[in-house]
Structure 1
Amino acid sequence: MSEYWAVTRPPGSWASSAARRRNMQAIRSRDTKPERLIRQLVHANGLRYRVAARPLPDLRRTADLVFRPAKVAVFIDGCYWHGCPEHYVSPRTNSGYWSDKVARNMARDRDTNRQLQEAGWLVMRFWEHQDSDACALTIIDTVRYRRRTLPG
């Protein structure tokens, strides 16, 4: 397998080795442990939501939890992939590529926030390392408040 990979890997490929490529492909983009725990806590408090859904149909981005009537989009961001100021550490191998990728992710996050806010949505972002109970409580309180106060 590694000989095949070495021969077929295109120049400038994002993976520095076949093992690294497999490792990176195994990383979940949804249903992570922090996300599942927060969803469980929110659901246990009677709130219903969409999972990994597009808040805006024309925007090709998905939020981890979407509360459509309340217009709340929740994102639970991974510390590495979204550049957590507390936990992000630039990788030792292929650092130029990965640092650029994280910078692009952060720029996309800012653009997503802007587009959703312009459409009247409230964007809530949490880091994966934050306390799940506190995140869930913040989400619950915010969604309930917006359901009471938004027209319609």
Structure 2
Amino acid sequence: MVDNVSKQERSNIMRKVRSQSDLENVVSKALWKKGIRYRKNVKSLMGKPDIVIQKYKIVIFIDSCFWHACELHGRMPKSNTEFWESKFERNKERDAEVNKHYLSKNWNILRVWEHELREDFDGTINKIVAFIEHAKK
């Protein structure tokens, strides 16, 4: 199926997509309020993790249901489906590569789905805090 906007217009739309979501910012603030100190989006680390505590080798990724092709909430755009299928498949492969990288280096890695935070924000924040506390031991 053909994209219903021009290449230039699609480029402009995609350029506006931010690398840091509002949800990541809300999670970061909630963790900060709980006394968790971290760095955000560390470019020098593989996959540019959303939350990093290097001292304890902790990386946390907040995966969007759309971009990471959540089986529950991910949706396939109606236009340019070949591109999107390939894009989502590559994103899933990259996530697996990133997981393998950190696990091979004995890092503590946690992936949190966007829908987990939307369905039970406080519970998911507590899950993240418990993960961090466990990793510090």
TM, length-normalised to structure 1:
0.78
SS in 2 for 1:66: strand
One of 15, 18, 23 as aligned partner of 1:28: 18
Counting matched residue pairs gives 131
Q: CA deviation at 1:15?
A: 9.4
Q: Give the 5 Å matches for 1:15-94.
A: 17=6, 18-30=8-20, 32-54=21-43, 57=44, 60-94=46-80
Q: 1:93 to 1:22 in 2, by over 3 A?
A: same
Q: CA deviation at 1:21?
A: 2.2
Larger Rg: 1
User: Does the Cα contact within 8 Å between 2:46 and 2:98 map onto a contact in 1?
Assistant: no
Q: Which amino acid in 2 is paired with 1:135?
A: T
With over 3 angstroms needed to count, the CA separation of the structure-2 counterparts of 1:118 and 1:27, relative to structure 1, is same
Larger % of helix: which?
A: 2
Describe how 1:114-133 pairs up with structure 2 within 5 A.
Answer: 114-131=100-117, 132-133=121-122
**C-alpha root-mean-square deviation of aligned residues, in Å?**
1.9
1:135 to 102, 116, 124: 124
Residue 10 of structure 1: aligned partner? none
Q: Which amino acid aligns with 2:82?
A: G
For 1:105, what is the secondary structure of its paired residue? helix
Task: State how far apart, in whole Å, the 2-side matches of 1:37 and 1:15 are.
Answer: 34
CA deviation map 1:72-125 (0-9, x unaligned): 110011111111111111111111011101100100000100010010111111
* Displacement of 1:20: 2.5
Quick one: percent identity of the two aligned structures? 29
- Supply the AA of the counterpart residue of 2:111: R
Unaligned runs of 5+ in 2: none
Counterpart among 78, 81, 90 of residue 95 in structure 1: 81
Alpha-carbon distance between aligned partners in 2 of 1:136 and 1:71, rounded to the nearest angstrom: 19
Moved more, 35-44 or 15-24: 15-24
Question: SS of the residue aligned with 2:116?
Answer: coil
Q: Which runs of 5+ in 1 are unaligned?
A: 1-13
CA 112–26 in structure 1, closer or farther in 2 if over 3 Å, else same: same
In the TM superposition, what whole-angstrom CA distance separates every residue of 1:124-148 from its partner, at most 9, and x where no partner exists?
Answer: 111122223222211111212221x
Structure 1 runs of 4+ aligned residues shifted over 3 Å read none
Counterpart Cα distance in 1 of 2:46 and 2:132: 23
User: Which whole-Å CA distance do the structure 1 matches of 2:101 and 2:4 have between them?
Assistant: 32
Q: Is the 2:51–2:61 Cα contact (8 Å) retained in structure 1?
A: yes
